[in-house]
Amino acid sequence: ASGAATTMFPTASSDAQVVNESIVVKAGETFDGAGKTFTAGNALGDGGQSESQKPLFILEDGAQLKNVVIGDNGADGIHTRGDAKLENVHWTDVGEDALTMKGSGDVEIKDSSAKGAADKIFQLNAPGSLTIDNFQADDFGKLVRTNGGQQGDWDINLNNITATNGKHALVQSDSSTVNVNANNVQTENVKGMYKLPESASLSIQ
């Protein structure tokens, strides 16, 4: 598609399923939320900026997550432990962050959205690739952040993105070997844009 991302921001359902123990999607399996809203209970955290919160979902290597709305308590969002695919996943109010790559792998996210991130949406703590296609972000600090001060081989591919009202950066990394490819990224009121070391590779189309 050559236009902006077409994904909408759904609203959280008032009869959300409260998650008090992280839901583990086992290696190679698919969790289909059928469009339901899942919100964190207090056992996972309060959705603020405390780093000790737990995720609603843990995706083991090769797991897929689809048709999920994460509701008003986003806690520590989603953790991936290897390769993962997400489709039609929406964060209505990002908690500490929305998704963390905890294990190296290739993570693909499509037809999804996130808003209300006091700081990061995607936090990359292990090397690998993050490929996002057809995604809307609004009201965030950073869309993508590789772990502060860390070196690693990351490939970050942004395709068909609409990002509005970003406070710090679209992509920020301290890694001298990060590669960022941006294809049809539309932004409005996003401060900082690409904050990367000189040696990083950045391709914008």
Q: List residues binding Ca ion (CB under 5 A).
A: 76, 93-94, 96-97, 116
Question: Which CB, 97 or 111, lies closer to ligand ADA?
Answer: 97
Query: How many residues belong to the chain?
Result: 205
Q: Which residues bind ligand ADA (CB under 6 A)?
A: 51, 96-97, 100, 123, 125, 148
Question: Which CB, 48 or 148, lies closer to ligand ADA?
Answer: 148
User: Nearest distance from residue 62's CB to ligand ADA, in Å?
Assistant: 22
User: Nearest distance from residue 95's CB to Ca ion, in Å?
Assistant: 6
Which of helix, strand or coil describes residue 30?
A: strand
Report the alpha-carbon angle 171-172-176, nearest 5.
Answer: 120
The Cα–Cα gap between 113 and 161 comes to: 10
116 binds, among Ca ion, ligand ADA, none (CB under 5 to 8 A by kind): Ca ion
> How far does Cα 76 stand from its chain's mean position?
11
User: Nearest distance from residue 123's CB to ligand ADA, in Å?
Assistant: 5
Q: How many CA atoms lie within 13 Å of 126's alpha carbon, on the beta-carbon side?
A: 14
User: Nearest distance from residue 117's CB to Ca ion, in Å?
Assistant: 6
125 binds, among Ca ion, ligand ADA, none (CB under 5 to 8 A by kind): ligand ADA
181 phi and psi, to 5 degrees?
A: -120, 125
User: Nearest distance from residue 161's CB to ligand ADA, in Å?
Assistant: 22
35 binds, among ligand ADA, Ca ion, none (CB under 5 to 8 A by kind): none
Contact 17, 52 (CB under 8 A): no
Question: Which CB, 178 or 185, lies closer to ligand ADA?
Answer: 178
For the chain, give me the number of helices (H) and strands (E)? Answer: 0, 16
> How far does Cα 123 stand from its chain's mean position?
7
93 binds, among Ca ion, ligand ADA, none (CB under 5 to 8 A by kind): Ca ion
